[in-house]
Chain A
Amino acid sequence: LAKTTQPISMDSYEGQEVNITCSHNNIATNDYITWYQQFPSQGPRFIIQGYKTKVTNEVASLFIPADRKSSTLSLPRVSLSDTAVYYCLVGDNYGGATNKLIFGTGTLLAVQP
């Protein structure tokens, strides 16, 4: 199973770029890498997903090196409202492998004024 490891917490200030790295040394060929954001008392919300190289959408970028053993979520110019827990999810739920969907331990990002 592709176990994931993330920093427990990170601090930042408004306007800064924040990079959160997730390690997944045992990632399998079919595994995708997905990042979710969770606010208190809410369910996780999809941020971005990738398989390799770089992916960018309107809220974040995801950098995946060639060996795919890690990934970095990049949040440009964070604001106070970006304070949340960020989860890295690695897995492939295709073909009945759902129990191989492994969420990381989550990184609590605290953005200060």
Chain B
Amino acid sequence: DTAVSQTPKYLVTQMGNDKSIKCEQNLGHDTMYWYKQDSKKFLKIMFSYNNKELIINETVPNRFSPKSPDKAHLNLHINSLELGDSAVYFCASSQDIAGGSEQYFGPGTRLTVT
């Protein structure tokens, strides 16, 4: 059983398009996250979502919007895609948002914008 799953695994699209990445966790966790990993392998947190409270990293453009239909899902919508959005996006979850909760990561979605 996959604890944290993401779809699609690969996504190739053109500049200006709108796309979504889906994430689901079956661990019963209360908190979910989205991370971006660039070509230099830097991992940067984009959002966390806990009990319907969204915590946004202020450096993330508002073209990126997370949507959580329920506690087990946190989807990432990206509008007006740009070349610089090309990266691997990881979804993660943790039991709660308390300090230092272990995070479980999904397999990643490689987004390529042409």
Contacts and interface: CB of A to CB of B under 8 A. Distances in A.
A34 B45 contact: no
A99 B56 contact: yes
A94 B43 contact: no
Contact of A93 (B59, B90, B97, B105): B97
B108 A93 contact: no
B99 A46 contact: no
Interface in B38-52: 41-45, 47-48
Contacts of A51: 100
A49 interface: yes
A43 B57 contact: no
Contacts, number: 73
Interface residues of B, number: 31
Looking at chain B's contact residues, the main secondary structure is strand
A51 B99 CA distance: 10
Contacts of B103: 36, 44, 46
A98 B92 contact: no
Size class of the contact patch on chain A: 20 to 34
A81 interface: no
Contact of B42 (A42, A96, A105): A105
A51 B7 CA distance: 35
Contact of A103 (B31, B43, B56, B108): B43
Contacts of A44: 43, 90, 103, 105
Given A98-B55, A105-B42, A106-B41, A43 B90 contact: yes
A87 B43 contact: yes
Contacts of A34: 100, 102
Interface of A: 30-32, 34, 36, 41-46, 49, 51, 85, 87, 92-99, 101, 103, 105-106
Which 10 pairs of residues, A with B, have the shortest CB-CB distance? A43-B105, A32-B100, A98-B48, A103-B43, A99-B57, A98-B55, A92-B99, A94-B99, A46-B102, A101-B45
